[in-house]
Amino acid sequence: MQAFTAEQGFTLQHFDKMATNWKFWPTFWNTIILAAIVVPLQLVMALHGLDRRQAPRPGRNSILYIFTIPLGLSDLAAGIIWLAIFEQSGFLSSMLVGLGQWTGPNAVPRLPESG
């Protein structure tokens, strides 16, 4: 909803700014090409590799593992980011210590007093 609002009310100004950026249209067309050509091509290649009617080929399992790497990388990256934020010396702990809301690894973070 925030994309359509500004201080004066309803607006399309944000979309106009995005569409007039010099990087937008090349990026847009690269995304269309990727979605229209590369993704279906990868799907056909993967399904061809999974076809069990064909005789077993050497390296088939290696190719299947290589195709599944992107599936695991996003989960791995998310895990590393969460670890960097929430570990004892991570971003969140450092920020809370810097704000004086936490005194160390065994302390319980305090909520600001209201009043």
Q: Mean pLDDT throughout 77-96? A: 81
Domain edges within the chain: 2-54, 71-115
| SS3 of residue 10 by DSSP | strand
Backbone angles phi, psi at 96, to 5 degrees: -65, -40
The token pair that represents 84 in the structure block: 């960097």
Full-prediction pTM beyond 0.75?
Answer: no
Q: pLDDT tens across 5-54, in order?
A: 777 778 787 788 888 888 999 999 999 998 899 888 888 877 776 666 76
For the chain, what is the mean pLDDT?
A: 78
Rounded average pLDDT over 105-111: 60
At residue 64, does pLDDT exceed 90? no
CA 66-71-76 angle, to 5 degrees, is 105
